[in-house]
Structure 1
Amino acid sequence: MEKPHRKLEVWQKSIDFATVIYEVTSRFPTHEQFGLVSQLRRAAVSIPSNLSEGAARGSAEFIQFMRIAIGSVSEIDTQLEISYRIGYLSESTYTDLDQQLATIDRMLVGLRKSLVQKQKNTP
């Protein structure tokens, strides 16, 4: 039996993104292991994790888990900006990650709106 979250394109993209975050942060200085590396990885893993948990629980709770995932996107946005400004990310890597994150954000917001609308239309 396939889990409901695996059908979500945004879950698939967020898994890919988390994998890239792990690869990119493996090149950060070792003294950042418990700083930016840990924060970025935790927030990146949080997105697909919240999608999978929310999808398993049902629409009302799924909306709350979507909010948490969207919050993680904002955390990552800030952490990527800091990483770029202090020179841990090249401009091209930063731009690529930022674009991937923006796509995930749009997808999350769209899915959340869809779930809210569906909930409003359900008697």
Structure 2
Amino acid sequence: MHKVEDLKIWNKAIKLVKEVYLIISELPKEEKFGIVSQIKRSAVSIPSNIAEGAGRNSQKEFKYFLSIANGSAYELQTQLILIIELNLIIKEKVQPVIELCVEIQKMNYSFQKSLSKTELHTQY
């Protein structure tokens, strides 16, 4: 098990959720039950799945939840691009959040690779 508060990726994911909530507060009210709801779910899913994986008993389980978190990060990235493409918000406001999302995706990939290496070493 990992102490979730010590994980850089979890802390960045928490920051991402805060940034996402600031952005969606600027979206039109009529989108509350549409894309806003989807964005909230995918954003919150990222640190939540990292935390759930950190609390599991094996590296394999942790990697599984990191994989789910990564899927949510790609989903969020797509939704953020969509709100730009749909002219719901200007690109300059969303781009830094997209960049943070991509940074988390890269960290996640590296973290999963490092867990795989640890898994190999502990099998012998």
- How high is the TM-score relative to the length of structure 1? 0.93
When the two chains are superposed, the root-mean-square deviation of aligned CA atoms in Å is: 1.1
CA distance in 2 between partners of 1:89 and 1:30 (Å): 13
After TM superposition, list the pairs within 5 Å mapping 1:10-29 onto structure 2. 10-29=9-28
CA distance in 2 between partners of 1:89 and 1:107 (Å): 27
Corresponding letter in the other structure for 2:104: I
Map of 2:37 onto structure 1: 38
CA distance in 2 between partners of 1:19 and 1:96 (Å): 13
CA distance in 2 between partners of 1:65 and 1:94 (Å): 26
CA distance in 1 between partners of 2:116 and 2:69 (Å): 15
Deviations 1:26-77 (A, max 9, x none): 1111111111111111111001000111001131210100000000011011
Map of 1:93 onto structure 2: 93
Deviations 1:75-95 (A, max 9, x none): 011101110011122121122
Map of 1:69 onto structure 2: 69
Query: What is the CA-CA distance between 1:116 and the residue it aligns to?
Result: 1.3
CA distance in 1 between partners of 2:68 and 2:29 (Å): 29
CA distance in 1 between partners of 2:21 and 2:67 (Å): 23
Query: What is the CA-CA distance between 1:122 and the residue it aligns to?
Result: 1.4
Deviations 1:2-48 (A, max 9, x none): x7111001100100110111111011111111111111111110010
Moved over 6 A (4+): none
Give the 3-state SS of the residue equivalent to 2:27 in structure 1: coil
Matched residues, percent identical? 35
- Unpaired runs of at least 5, structure 1: none
- Unpaired runs of at least 5, structure 2: none
CA distance in 1 between partners of 2:4 and 2:89 (Å): 31
Give the 3-state SS of the residue equivalent to 2:26 in structure 1: coil
